[in-house]
Amino acid sequence: MIFWKKVFWVFAIIGMCSCAPVEQANERETYNKVTLENIAVSQPSGAFAQVVSRVEPIAEDFCRASGRPLNCDFEIIVDARDPENVNAFQTLRKNGRPLIVFTQALIASAQNDDELAFVLGHEMAHHLEGHLHRQYQSARTGAILLGGITAITGASANTVQSAQRVGAGIGARTYSKEFELEADRLGALIAIRSGYNAVKGAAFFARLPDPGDQFLGSHPPNGARVETVRRVSLGY
């Protein structure tokens, strides 16, 4: 009976994901595969450059103080390809150097320097917390587990491969919300230490669609994120 329950849930999960695929590679992973020569890359300028000059040294201090074997030499660039794409994320160069990407649309949408500083601190915090590596490990574990369970049912090689892809997608999202809240906490602290108001910075969330508390969602509810920043600002 237990065996057939496993069979049922394996194929139920695969079936659901074939109808509504779980995103298997997030924006950071996708961008890491993009050749930077093919996009409109520029260096920070104006108000954003001033924010970078204040926030980057603080983040690098946090990085060195962590005692982790991290590359603390951040690179910050601006992507001006899509004027409608309000986005920022962290990835790694092939040599391990942390790369923070802001779209020009996000910079233009920010209402003050506090918002730019908070978002920058948040993305830097992803690197300091090792989220890319932890996400990769979760994805790998998910692929092994779901692929293995599917294999013992006698499924075809194609079905096993599909299960591995689905498992990787589920695994990658398992801790996504926790990662975002961790980055909010540390990012708020970085912004505060840089002389910015993190609570005002977190007002940026108010203009984003609220994802709610979705199963396997990549981001937590906006309210939870604002409350996290508020508590950090109060010293909790």
pLDDT level of residue 177 (50, 70, 90 thresholds): confident
Question: Which segment of 20-34, 148-162, 203-217 scores lowest on mean pLDDT?
Answer: 20-34
Residue pair 73/60 in contact (Cβ under 8 Å)? The answer is: yes
Split into its structural domains, the chain has a count of 1
Mean pLDDT of 73-95: 89
CA distances from 27 to 5, 22, 23, 34, 190 (A): 35, 13, 10, 11, 23
Torsion of CA 84, 86, 89, 94, to 10 degrees: 20
Average pLDDT over residues 90-118: 93
- Is residue 156 assigned to a domain? no
Residue 144 lies in a domain: no
- pLDDT of 199 > 90? The answer is yes
Residue 29 has pLDDT above 90, yes or no: no
Q: Is the pLDDT of residue 226 over 80?
A: yes
- Residue 146 has a pLDDT of 60
Q: Is residue 185 part of a domain?
A: yes
Give the residue-averaged pLDDT of 203-221: 66
**Residue 167 counted as domain residue:** no
Average pLDDT rounded to a whole number, residues 81-110? 90
Q: Which domain holds residue 113?
A: 27-133+175-233
Q: What is the pTM of this model?
A: 0.72
Q: What is the pLDDT of residue 147?
A: 63
**Per-residue buried b or exposed e for 114-148, using 16+ beta carbons within 10 Å of the residue's own CB:** bbbbbbbbbbbbbbbbbbbebbeebbebbbeebbe
Inside any domain, residue 65: yes
pLDDT at 159 over 60: yes
What does the block give as tokens for 114? 């506090």
The SS3 call for residue 2 is helix
In a domain, 168, yes or no: no
Mean pLDDT of 20-40: 45
The tokens describing 96, both together, are 């391990």
Say what the pLDDT of residue 205 is.
85
Instruction: Tell me: pLDDT of 23 over 50.
Output: no
Q: Which residue has the higher pLDDT, 90 or 206?
A: 90
Inside any domain, residue 148? no
Residue 149 lies in a domain: no
Question: From CA 229, how far away is CA 125, in angstroms rounded?
Answer: 13
What pLDDT is stored for residue 142 in this prediction? Answer: 57
Res 111 pLDDT > 50: yes
Residue 35: pLDDT over 60: no
User: What is the share, in percent, of the chain residues with pLDDT greater than 90?
Assistant: 40
